[in-house]
Amino acid sequence: MNDKERTLSSRIGALRNRLRDLLFVKHLALFISGNASFSLKRTEDEARFYAEAESLRQTLLQPYESAVDRSQALLKQQLDARDDVNGELDILDMETSFNKEGHGLRAIQTYEDAATTADILNAYAELIDQYRSLIIQMLFTRVSIAGASLCSSP
């Protein structure tokens, strides 16, 4: 990229940012107009202002929703690839077996301490796996300020 192209690119970026800012102001004005129409009990004007504000909001948020869709697709692809290579994680993969047989009372106490520690660690592993599943589920949940009717999960 030469200097002329860089200058042109930075100007275009600055103009896009200004346009986006002005569209946010327009959205705010439409929303306030809808609110004022509601207060004045002008239902036709209220519906029109809110519909225009909603349409503009969807236009403004489209690039961000596209980025979220791409990120969710990449996450799903990475999870599927990991599961294909390593298989599904299982709590039993983290368990350690101890030999109960040993010499004297000391070996029995050591075994019991180790078994208790393993049980505690297994409980933590289950909890962490549940948190992991919950976080993955939340990452795949579509969020839209347009309303719950427009949200969907894959």
Q: What is the domain extent for residue 105?
A: 89-154
Tens digits of per-residue pLDDT, 79-135? 787 777 666 655 555 544 555 555 555 566 677 777 788 888 888 888 998 998 888
pLDDT level of residue 41 (50, 70, 90 thresholds): very high
The number of distinct structural domains making up the chain is 2
d(CA 35, CA 83): 50
Residue 20 lies in a domain: yes
Q: 140 in a domain, yes or no? A: yes
Chain position carrying tokens 């192209």: 5
Q: Do 93 and 148 sit in the same domain of this protein?
A: yes
* Whether 51 and 3 share a structural domain: yes
Query: Would you state the pLDDT for residue 106?
Result: 57
Do 137 and 99 share a structural domain?
A: yes
d(CA 45, CA 64): 29
- 91 near 125, Cβ under 8 Å? yes
Q: Which residue has the higher pLDDT, 112 or 20?
A: 20
